[in-house]
Amino acid sequence: MQYLLSGDSLVLDQALCNGCGRCEEVCPHAVYSVVNRKAVVANRGNCMQCGACRMNCPAGAIAVSTGVGCAAAIIGAMRRGDGGGASCDCA
Ligand code: SF4
Ligand code: SF4
């Protein structure tokens, strides 16, 4: 699923990244890949701005505006008319 907000606010500072892979582990939508010990944003359009990567990055290499990710996804589904099964796909 791609989201309206589509990770617009997601910023990754590769200079700070230590390649630990934590962002890849915690992201519910496989936005990151770690290549040659550096994280890369491989699927920006999948980001629903939940903030899990930012909270779990030990290097402070990630910035993202949060607080609307799940709600925006569900509201978007409802506006499209498929709100009966609306989900942010977190789980
Ligand atoms: S969690 Fe942070 S330091 Fe670890 S790979 Fe991801 S961006 Fe790099
Ligand atoms: S904000 Fe959430 S969905 Fe977006 S990249 Fe980070 S963990 Fe993944």
Q: Which ligand is nearest to the CA of 24?
A: 1
pLDDT value for 87: 56
pLDDT-derived band at 86, boundaries 50, 70, 90: low
Q: Which CATH number fits domain 11-81: 3.10.450.50, 3.30.70.20, 3.30.390.50, 3.30.365.10?
A: 3.30.70.20
pTM of the full structure: 0.76
Ordered DSSP codes for the chain: ---SSTTTT-EE-TTT-----HHHHH-TT--EEEETTEEEES-GGG-----HHHHH-TT--EE---SSHHHHHHHHHHHTT-GGG------
- Residue bearing the CA closest to ligand 2, atom 7: 27
pLDDT tens digits, residue range 8-55? Answer: 889 999 999 999 999 999 999 999 999 999 999 999 999 989 999 999
Domain residue ranges in the chain? 11-81
Nearest CA, atom 3, ligand 2: 47
User: What gap in Å lies between CA 17 and CA 1, rounded to an integer?
Assistant: 27
CA of 23 to the centre of ligand 2 (A): 8
**Residue with tokens 């779990």, as numbered in its chain:** 56
Q: Is 73 in the pocket of ligand 2 (CB under 6 A)?
A: no
Q: Is the CB of 57 under 6 A from ligand 2?
A: no
Tokens 């892979």 belong to: 21
